[in-house]
Amino acid sequence: MLELRDLAAVRSNTLLFRRVSLLLHAGEALRVTGPNGAGKTTLLRMICGLTEPARGEVAWDGTPIGTLGDEYRARLAFLGHQEGHFGDLTAAENLRLAGHNVAPDAVVAALELVGLGTLADQPARFLSQGQRRRLGLARVRLRAAPLWILDEPLTGLDRQGVELTAHLLAEHLADGGLAVLTTHQDLPGLDDVLRQLDLGA
């Protein structure tokens, strides 16, 4: 259970948003929308614990994430604007050495799943933007964390990629996972579980 308690964000002396309070239960996803510069990425970074809120706090299962520390980070998978791949490592190595133990079979399966099966031994710097997003998605899925935080996961993806993302999200939520994401595109098949937060309003 993810809880945002009265969050406010200030960036270079401008108030981006305030009084953002919300409760997200297992099996639910939150879609954050708003015009450019409304603070969507800032909110996502706050939920990760990368940025300190100007006011308020983020809590996981009732405990502030600052208190939980590594225990919270172990339950978190983050896909940022930049995926965090190493260009000099291959796609498979990027998944294998992402910092958590995964079986070699699982890496192959994850690459197949996101449509990068034939590119496993390709250095990540040769991947296209859409392929990089797909590889990022594979990493998030391999992490097996209950909370997914995805910043614009659909950017650069083709229609198949969007459907794949929606499918993986639906699967994750059906398993009792949670997700917070930003996008303005439609996610097919997620209407029942997708909640909205409009930062521009």
- Can you tell me which of 73, 130, 164, 195 binds other proteins, judged by CB under 8 A? 73
Q: How far is CA 32 from CA 57, 91, 133, 185, in A?
A: 18, 29, 19, 11
State in angstroms the smallest separation of the CB of 189 from other proteins.
28
State in angstroms the smallest separation of the CB of 88 from other proteins.
4
Binders of other proteins among residues 75 to 134 (CB under 8 A) are 76, 78, 80-89, 93, 97-101
Q: With binding defined as CB under 8 A, does residue 71 bind other proteins?
A: yes
Phi/psi of residue 57, each to 5°?
A: -155, 165
Q: With binding defined as CB under 8 A, does residue 184 bind other proteins?
A: no
Residue 199's Cα: distance from chain center in Å?
A: 18
Binding-site size for other proteins (CB under 8 A) equals 27
| Euclidean distance between CA atoms 139 and 192, whole angstroms | 26
Q: With binding defined as CB under 8 A, does residue 60 bind other proteins?
A: no
Q: With binding defined as CB under 8 A, does residue 27 bind other proteins?
A: no
Pick the piece of the chain touching other proteins (CB under 8 A) from 70-78, 162-170, 173-181, 190-198.
70-78
State in angstroms the smallest separation of the CB of 187 from other proteins.
23
Q: With binding defined as CB under 8 A, does residue 74 bind other proteins?
A: yes
Q: With binding defined as CB under 8 A, does residue 64 bind other proteins?
A: no
* Look-up of token digits 């706050």: 46
**List of residues 6+ apart from 1 with CB closer than 8 A:** 23, 24, 25, 26, 60, 61, 62, 178
Contact status, residue 187 vs residue 167, Cβ threshold 8 Å: no
Q: If you count them, how many residues does the chain have? A: 201
Residue 61's Cα: distance from chain center in Å?
A: 19
State in angstroms the smallest separation of the CB of 66 from other proteins.
12
DSSP letter assigned to residue 28: -
Binders of other proteins among residues 137 to 166 (CB under 8 A) are none
Give me the half-sphere count of Cα atoms (radius 13 Å) on the Cβ side of residue 194.
19
Q: With binding defined as CB under 8 A, does residue 52 bind other proteins?
A: yes
Site for other proteins, rule CB under 8 A = 48-52, 70-71, 73-74, 76, 78, 80-89, 93, 97-101
